Amino acid sequence: MSVQTILLDFSMDPARLGDENGQKAVFTQLETVLKEYVPNLILATDIKVDGGSLKLLTGKAGTTVSVRLFDRGLVTVNIEYYKEDNEEPLISFKSAKILEGQLNKYMSVIKSQALPPLKRCKFGRYYPTSDERLLEYDIDGVLFDEQSSFQKVQVVHSKSFGNILVLDDLQNISEADLIYTETLMQRGKESYEGKEIVILGGGDGALLYELLKEKPKYVWMLEIDELVMKACNKHLKSICGDVLERRKGPNFEIIVEDCMLTVKRFTAERRKVDYVFGDLTDIPISDEGCSELWEFMVGILRAAFDILKPSGKFMTHGNGATSPESLELYEQVLMKMKPAVTFSKCKAFVPSFMEDWIFYQIAFKETANSDE
């Protein structure tokens, strides 16, 4: 079951919509064609608004149609109706394109566009890109849906990507995203054999699972949300193996608490490690209204370097390549770090994100220069 929303946009000579009579004439043309697609269509409300008018129509089985006429030459048509899973759509994308073509000719428009139907229902199909564009996923079911003390935790199934971990309505990782983990850890470029490693976050278990294949001396994974690990252990075994079930082994341990508490203990004990992975939240897309999140990220950076060996590295994910302002803000933070650090970055196309993602490798500047 779903609520289907068909969106059509038209642009025409503004002179045709410049007054009330012109808008009525265009609407009459539009209504004539719409009645061929929506049975029993009648005008329910006609409202004059600033910059144009709004017409609300109703049709068969509760179908509603809103038509917005802008005096600057734009017309939008939104058709909305309820559809059961076993029912044929009232208007498919194919028929919406035919409707668009008919209206195009009938109203003599300059440009037009019909969008694929939006399907809004009991589980989400739509998630944003890093720069807040809308992506539609072929999700056909929800496997896990609970609220922890920290966030909403879901695992949904996609026909293309398998099971996907979704946190607070943002896609995090899927069964198709090994490239994400391998790029984060720079597999083949960094040697983890015999090394000591701290993972900040990483509740899906994928990074820990892959790092253990590299024969490290010891890995501490610091995750605050027990519910994330419960969901992934049950529904994302293909990316985390049995590490979330075992919780501890001869060369790894999962500590369930605020990662900063463990880092502070390491600092007090003067313990130093070879690598720290930041697998927590993404970099904010701007600094507006995100001061607390930026403070958190700066705090994480400073704490990570407090427990790194002079030759150590901080490895983290940034944001989408289509969010350059966000990445620039993060790099400005890095350039102001004391002691000074140097960084490199790379990108990889992450399947379930449907976009290129940026990853950072950060080290103490003096050590990096001496290595050169």
- Domain identity same for 240 and 355: yes
Q: Taking residues 128-143, report their average pLDDT.
A: 93
User: Does residue 164 belong to any structural domain of this protein?
Assistant: yes
Identify the active-site residue in 279, 282, 306, 356: 279
187 domain-assigned? yes
What strand order describes the sheet that includes 170-174? 139-147, 152-158, 162-167, 170-174
Same domain membership, residue 210 and residue 357:
yes
Amino acid 85: pLDDT? 81
Tens digit of pLDDT for each residue in 29-38? Answer: 999 999 999 9
- Res. 361: pLDDT tops 90: yes
Q: How many angstroms separate the CA atoms of 104 and 16, rounded?
A: 14
Locate 326 and state its tokens. Answer: 């966000």
Average pLDDT over residues 249-272: 94
Residue 369 lies in a domain: no
Task: Examine the domain organization and report whether 8 and 109 are in the same domain.
Answer: yes
> What was the pLDDT predicted at 143?
97
Number of domains in the chain: 3
The answer to whether residue 279 is catalytic is: yes
CATH of the domain at 243: 3.40.50.150
Mean pLDDT computed over 269-286: 82
Helix (H) or strand (E) holding 299: helix 291-306
Pairing mode, strands 355-364 and 308-320: antiparallel
- Domain C-terminal end among 142, 173, 204: 173
- Residue 230: other Cβ atoms inside 10 A: 16
Say if residue 97 is in the same domain as residue 141: no
Examine residue 371 and state whether it is found in any structural domain, yes or no: no
State the residue range of the domain holding 10: 2-121
Asked whether residue 38 falls in the same domain as residue 180, the answer is no
Residues 294-347 have pLDDT tens digits of 788 888 888 999 999 999 999 999 999 999 988 998 899 899 988 999 999 999
Instruction: Give residue 372's pLDDT.
Output: 45
Output the pLDDT for position 290: 57
In the chain the first and final C-alpha atoms are separated, in Å, by 61
Inter-residue contact 216 to 195 (CB < 8 Å): yes
pLDDT score recorded for residue 289: 47
In a domain, 210, yes or no: yes
User: Is the pLDDT at 196 greater than 90, yes or no?
Assistant: yes
Are residues 186 and 132 both part of a single domain? no
**Residue 112 and residue 235 in one domain:** no
Stretch 227-232: mean pLDDT: 97
DSSP 125-152: -EEE-TTS-EEE--EEEEEEEEE-SS-E
Same domain, 167 and 181: no
Three-class SS of residue 29?
A: helix
What is the rounded CA–CA span in Å between residue 338 and residue 168?
33
Long-range pairs for 301-305 at CB < 8 Å and ≥24 separation?
Answer: 301/333, 301/334, 301/337, 301/362, 302/337, 303/260, 303/263, 303/264, 303/267, 304/198, 304/200, 304/263, 304/276, 304/278, 305/276, 305/337, 305/339, 305/341, 305/364
Mean pLDDT (the chain) is 92
| CATH value at residue 117 | 3.30.160.110
Of 371 and 46, the structure prediction assigns the larger pLDDT to 46
Query: What pLDDT does residue 219 have?
Result: 98
**Across 130-146, average pLDDT:** 93
- pLDDT value at residue 17: 92
pLDDT of 114: 94
**What b/e readout covers 259-285, taking b as 16+ CB neighbours within 10 angstroms?**
bbebbeebeeeeeebbbbbbbbebbbb
State whether 189 and 321 are in the same domain: yes
Residue 232 above 70 pLDDT? yes
DSSP string, 190-243: B--TT-EEEEEE-TTSHHHHHHHTT--SEEEEEE--HHHHHHHHHH-HHHHTTH
Model pLDDT, residue 297: 80
Could you tell me if residue 139 is inside a domain?
yes
Same domain, 99 and 187: no
Q: Please report whether residue 350 resides in a domain.
A: yes
What sign does the dihedral 234-237-239-245 (CA atoms) show?
A: positive
Longest dimension (CA), the chain: 80
Residues 312 and 357 both lie in one domain: yes
330 compared with 182, residue with greater pLDDT: 182
Residue 64 lies in a domain: yes
With 80 as the cut, is the pLDDT of residue 69 above it?
yes
SS3 assignment, position 316: strand
Is residue 243 within 8 A of residue 254, CB to CB? The reply is yes
Residues 225 and 351 in one domain: yes
The secondary structure of 102-124, three-state, reads HHHHHHCCCEEEECCCEEECCCC
Last residue of a domain, one of 121, 137, 156: 121
Mean pLDDT of 170-195: 97
